Amino acid sequence: MSIKTTKSVKQEIRLSPRLFVLITVFGLLGIWGAAILAYKANHFSLVYPLVFAALGSVAFIILIVHLRTRHLARSTKKKLSVLSLIATLGLGSISMLLFPPGSVPDETYHYYNSYHYANVILGIHDDSSRSLIMRSCDANFVRDKFSSYYKSDSGLGLGVDAKGMDYLRSHIFQKEDTYTITTLHSNNQVAFTNAGGVIQSRIATTAGILIGRALSLNSLLTFYLGRIFNLILFSFLAFLAIRIIPFGSKIIAAISLLPMSISLAASYSYDSAIMGLAFLLIALLLRAISMQGQIKVREVIPILLVSFLLAPLKLVYAPLVIIGLFIPRKRFGSVYWEFLFKISLILVCLISIIIWQIPNLGGFLGAENNAATAPTHADLAESEASSPTLLFLFMHPFRTLMVFAKTLYKTGGWLIDTTIGSSLGWFQPSIIAPWFIAPAYIVLLFAASQRYSANSKIISLNRKVLFGIVFLICATLLFSVFYLTTIADTHDSASVILGMQGRYFIPILPLLLLLFRVNRFYYKYDWTTLLPLAFFILTYAYFLEVYVAALG
């Protein structure tokens, strides 16, 4: 009896060499042409258009070379992770040059906190939360560049503009005294301590500052070294998530290449670490609930470790571990090992939260200003100067839900724009993206969430319900936290929650996009590797538009 062997079908992306040459030529012409047009449209330094064109060309050529290389279908995920890594680093480098120091929201606070941690590691003890021991050059950099807090008459704001870019060009290689130490005192508008950011959210930026100080780099180079390390951290975590996740790898790649993700990753924002760890945890948990066979120790340890690191960064993302509670029992082999893992997962998160976040939770547990009774005019006036508390939310669930619904209805467009990044920096009107940018990204995100072959993973309805519930829990906690921490008239039916931005939904966005996967549909051809290229071109064009608008 003869035994028939079956060979795996090799699905390859077949594009003719001539087509690749045409794509390369027209792509480079487009990049350099756009840079030249930007230079001619604005009578500023030629440095930035040349840098944009050079970085864009190098990244584009690398993408084309990798795209030309033929890979089997089983190695598509490997190729996607590499291409996404290259695109993230390339766009992040452009974003660093485009957005001057302090122009990314809250970056000044993240810089102060990172510098404080660098002092702690070096054994330097700051006198108080309102003072920071720094090199004199770094203190001068803070006073000069973060001008809205120190020198309101300097004309150097925190926005994306020609003055900020000229400051970068003139100071990037400036020689400075890197040995003299001084104390920078706060003007009572900002605290310099680690409030709001635990060490794992600052590890990359702190490392950049430490290395910059060790190498005696000037203040601006030291600042940018922190940005570079933060970008590398996010890119590496996203790279791992794409490699690990059993389905939805295109979703992780797509979200990582959104303009808002790139802008945050290429800055001092702790959202860089939060996004990366959230993506990695989602990937680990989806792999755990999807794989067959008994679960291994090498699967369990990363899940517990990443959960421990992520839980205290922002408590609203801790419910992601709920997915781990639905790992099938058959993977553990016995009820005992299942119980041990799942209780350990919960305890790890609780211990991590207790260590780092319990002192910050006290303000949520007080009683609201007579909120349980019918409000008088005096109560209304007083409520405008205070925030509701956790007790108020539980005692008035209908009113709370109404506020949530009104906030979503009135600010839904804003939340979508600030998730994608149609409005970046300090949300300057002059650099808001054209109207078609958001729809273009939405279409790409939807395309990334779909199946790419008949063999792609089909997500059952039960799994979709689980992902939807976890997303809703995290989203509700996000709304609740902002409701508890922002000043609003909680008795006014027209009130909405202040301060909400779409960027806070990016870490849980993969779960939402998985809900839009249509199981009965799949693409005839796998264009996975074209996804990073599409996002790179669109985001590059958008950043160039921001550059032109900022200098205009």
Contacts of 264 (CB under 8 A, 6+ apart): 104, 271, 272, 275, 503, 506
Closest CA relative to residue 510, chosen from 407, 413, 415, 419: 419
For 189, phi then psi, to 5°, come to -105, -10
Residue 260 in contact with residue 418, Cβ under 8 Å?
Answer: yes
**Cα–Cα distance list, 299 to 36, 247, 285, 289 (Å):** 51, 17, 9, 11
* Residue where the block lists tokens 């000037």: 218
pLDDT at 140 (0 to 100)? 86
CB burial of 382-412 (b: ≥16 within 10 Å; e: otherwise) equals ebeeebbbbebbeebeebbeebbeebeeebe
pLDDT surpassing 60 at residue 189? no
Q: Which two tokens stand for residue 15?
A: 């594009």
CA dihedral sign of residues 141, 142, 146, 148: negative
Closest CA relative to residue 547, chosen from 25, 47, 108: 47
d(CA 192, CA 145): 16
Is residue 216 left, alpha or beta, with left meaning phi > 0 and alpha meaning psi from -120 to 50?
Answer: left
Among 122-126, 187-191, 299-303, 455-459, top mean pLDDT goes to 299-303
pLDDT surpassing 90 at residue 378? no
d(CA 454, CA 524): 8
pLDDT at 41 (0 to 100)? 54
pLDDT at 507 (0 to 100)? 95
For 16, phi then psi, to 5°, come to -70, 150
Average pLDDT rounded to a whole number, residues 272-282: 95
- Model confidence band, residue 451 (pLDDT cutoffs 50, 70, 90): confident
Return the amino acid letter for 301: I
CA dihedral sign of residues 13, 17, 21, 22: negative
Q: What is the largest CA-CA distance in the chain?
A: 93
| pLDDT, mean over the chain | 79
| pLDDT (tens digit per residue) in 231-247 | 999 999 999 999 999 98
% of residues, the chain, pLDDT over 90? 28
Q: Where are the alpha helices (DSSP H) in 69-106?
A: 76-98
d(CA 322, CA 272): 23
Residue 221 in contact with residue 172, Cβ under 8 Å?
Answer: yes
| pLDDT (tens digit per residue) in 302-322 | 999 999 999 888 889 999 999
| pLDDT (tens digit per residue) in 429-448 | 778 888 888 899 999 999 88
pLDDT at 98 (0 to 100)? 86
Average pLDDT rounded to a whole number, residues 280-295: 91
For 133, phi then psi, to 5°, come to -80, 120
Residue 144 in contact with residue 152, Cβ under 8 Å?
Answer: no
Residues paired with residue 131 on neighbouring β-strands, in sequence order: 185
% of residues, the chain, pLDDT over 70? 78
**Cα–Cα distance list, 176 to 172, 185, 244, 274, 527 (Å):** 11, 21, 45, 34, 50
Range of lowest pLDDT (160-174, 408-422, 465-479, 536-550): 160-174
pLDDT at 58 (0 to 100)? 75
Residues paired with residue 459 on neighbouring β-strands, in sequence order: none
Query: Which residue has better confidence, 78 or 88?
Result: 88
Neighbour tally for 103: CB within 10 Å: 25
pLDDT surpassing 80 at residue 401? yes
d(CA 32, CA 149): 38
- Model confidence band, residue 486 (pLDDT cutoffs 50, 70, 90): low
Q: Which two tokens stand for residue 46?
A: 């030629």
pLDDT surpassing 90 at residue 78? no
pLDDT at 446 (0 to 100)? 92
* 368 secondary structure, DSSP code: -
pLDDT at 419 (0 to 100)? 92
Query: Which residue has better confidence, 13 or 127?
Result: 127
Average pLDDT rounded to a whole number, residues 388-405: 75
DSSP string, 154-201: S---SSSSHHHHHHHHHHTT-----S-EEEEEP-SS---SSTT--HHH
pLDDT at 92 (0 to 100)? 92
Closest CA relative to residue 260, chosen from 533, 428, 502, 429: 502
pLDDT at 45 (0 to 100)? 57
